[in-house]
């Protein structure tokens, strides 16, 4: 049973006041809050274990290694990867994408090759490919979208050719909430022998993920979008691809043998995990995934869908409002604007009433340029948000609008 009162008690930050008002946190697309179990896991590691992994044979090192590797198994199960060696720990989605751009790009992208992205992309899935194209003299192509914020699939198909080596696309737009038809995108890309990377930063917390069913070649995600710690990410890659890709960084842990003449590299996944990682964060990430499992992903998805429908209806009652991003399939993200009110003014005044929203271009400047705007106000929901909070937000928004008009 989805017990929202019990769930909210698990998140201590929700009990605090901001500007003498009880916090209403609607910035979950930026980062999610952490349940007490995750906070406890971080504290427990530093107070009872705090040892480096893989290298030591003493008890603390073995305990830390076991817990770290157990998280890898948990992530493998979460996204249904075929092999645990296909799960690479990184610093986040951005780091995962850059790993692929540097390693896969170094080996398999050449002059004249083409990489396809979409208008919906976060800067983290634009800039690495621009840098790679500049270095390799490759060509970056962009899938256009319609006014609803949906990619135009027929235009995507026109971009594909035997020169296409990679399609890098967001599964879910962080700015609009649009869910892309990634399974069909992947199928078409594979028909021309192109590989596909999915930016799964937003999708992972709002959708059930099955990388084998999707048949994606790479999948990037972040723990902090999944109620876990910051500074932890995952790159999934098909084993046959990861095995032929060169190391992204050199250092300890990623080697088999080092001489001054030559070094040989460790097997997967450690070839891509140089140096001491965020051990505490990775261990605590398992606590976040376990927490989600106890509630149930399907129950969370249903709850967030209900919140999105409810909030959308309430917002559309305001005169002069425009919702940016009205895709048929979307997650619990609502971007909106008023022509006569600046989004930053709106956010500042809402914050005075304890309500946290996000404003600006959301690291999607090309997307904002498509709509001819500088930015939007964005509310985004997590598993602990409620309709009562939406009512509080609507009441505060009405007050702010009356003051600014």
Cα 333–Cα 125–Cα 372 angle in degrees, nearest 5: 60
What is the rounded distance in angstroms from the CA atom of residue 41 to the CA atom of residue 290?
Answer: 12
| Max CA separation in the chain (angstroms) | 72
Question: Could you tell me if 26 and 355 are in contact, meaning their C-beta atoms sit under 8 angstroms apart?
Answer: yes
Hey, is 244 helix, strand or coil?
A: helix
What is the rounded distance in angstroms from the CA atom of residue 195 to the CA atom of residue 217?
Answer: 6
Whether 363 is a known active-site residue: answer: yes
DSSP state letter for 226: G
Question: Could you tell me if 275 and 251 are in contact, meaning their C-beta atoms sit under 8 angstroms apart?
Answer: yes
SS3 labels along 26-95: CECCCCCCCCHHHHHHHHHHHHHCCCCCCCCCCHHHHHHHHHHHHHHHHHHHHHCCCCHHHEEEECCHHH
Residue from 206, 167, 200, 201 nearest 184 by CA: 167
Tokens of 44: 């427990």
Please report which helix (H) or strand (E) contains residue 392, including its range: helix 387-404
State the burial class of residue 310 (Cβ atoms within 10 Å of its Cβ: 0-12, 13-18, 19+): middle
Please report which helix (H) or strand (E) contains residue 303, including its range: helix 297-315
Query: Which of the residues 133, 216, 363, 392 is marked catalytic?
Result: 363
Active site residues: 363
């Amino acid at each position: 049973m989805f017990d929202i009162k019990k769930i909210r008690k698990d998140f201590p930050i929700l009990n605090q006041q901001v500007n003498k008002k009880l916090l209403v946190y609607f910035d979950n697309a930026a980062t999610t809050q952490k349940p007490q179990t995750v906070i406890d896991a971080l504290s427990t590691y530093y107070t009872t274990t705090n040892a480096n992994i893989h290298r030591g044979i003493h008890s603390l090192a073995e305990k830390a290694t076991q817990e770290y590797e157990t998280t890898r198994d948990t992530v493998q199960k979460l996204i249904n990867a075929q092999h645990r060696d296909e799960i690479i720990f990184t610093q986040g989605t951005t780091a995962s994408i850059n790993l692929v751009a540097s390693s896969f790009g170094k080996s398999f992208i050449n002059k004249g090759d083409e990489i396809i992205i979409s208008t919906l992309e976060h800067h983290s899935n634009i800039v690495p490919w621009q840098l790679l194209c500049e270095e390799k003299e490759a060509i970056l192509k962009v899938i256009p979208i319609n006014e609803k914020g949906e990619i135009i699939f027929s235009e995507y198909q026109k971009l594909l050719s035997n020169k296409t080596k990679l399609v890098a696309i967001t599964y879910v737009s962080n700015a609009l909430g649009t869910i892309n038809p990634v399974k069909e995108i992947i199928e078409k890309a594979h028909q021309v022998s192109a590989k596909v990377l999915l930016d799964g930063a937003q999708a992972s917390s709002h959708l059930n993920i099955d990388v084998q069913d999707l048949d994606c070649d790479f999948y990037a995600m972040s723990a902090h979008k999944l109620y876990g710690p910051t500074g932890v990410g995952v790159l999934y890659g098909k084993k046959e691809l990861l095995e032929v890709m060169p190391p992204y960084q050199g250092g300890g842990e990623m080697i088999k043998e080092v001489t001054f003449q030559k070094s040989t590299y460790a097997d997967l996944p450690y070839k891509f995990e140089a140096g001491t990682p965020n051990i505490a964060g990775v261990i605590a990430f398992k606590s976040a995934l376990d927490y989600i499992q106890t509630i149930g992903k399907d129950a969370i998805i249903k709850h967030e869908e209900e919140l999105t429908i409810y909030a959308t209806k309430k917002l559309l009652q305001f005169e002069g409002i425009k919702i940016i991003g009205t895709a048929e399939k979307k997650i619990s993200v609502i971007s909106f604007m008023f022509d006569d009110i600046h989004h930053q003014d709106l956010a500042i005044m809402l914050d005075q009433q304890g309500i946290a929203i996000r404003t600006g271009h959301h690291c999607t400047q090309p997307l904002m340029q498509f709509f001819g705007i500088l930015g939007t106000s964005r509310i985004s929901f997590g598993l602990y948000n409620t309709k009562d909070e939406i009512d509080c937000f609507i009441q505060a928004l009405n007050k702010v609008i009356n003051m600014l008009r």
